[in-house]
Amino acid sequence: MANKYQAETTGGQTYDVTTDEHHADHTESGFKAHLGRIIDGAIGGTIGGISTAVIVRKFIFKGKA
Which pLDDT tens digit goes with each residue over 12-56? Answer: 999 999 999 999 999 999 999 999 999 988 877 655 565 567 899
Q: Which residues face 15 on adjacent strands? A: 7
pTM here is 0.84
Phi and psi (nearest 5°) for 55? Answer: -110, 115
Residue 61 has pLDDT above 80, yes or no: yes
Number of folded domains that form the chain: 1
Which residue range forms the structural domain that includes residue 52? 3-64
Mean pLDDT in residue range 7-12:
93
How much is the pLDDT for 7? 96
Beta strand spans in 2-55 (E): 3-9, 14-19, 46-47, 50-51
- What local confidence, expressed as pLDDT, does residue 63 receive? 96
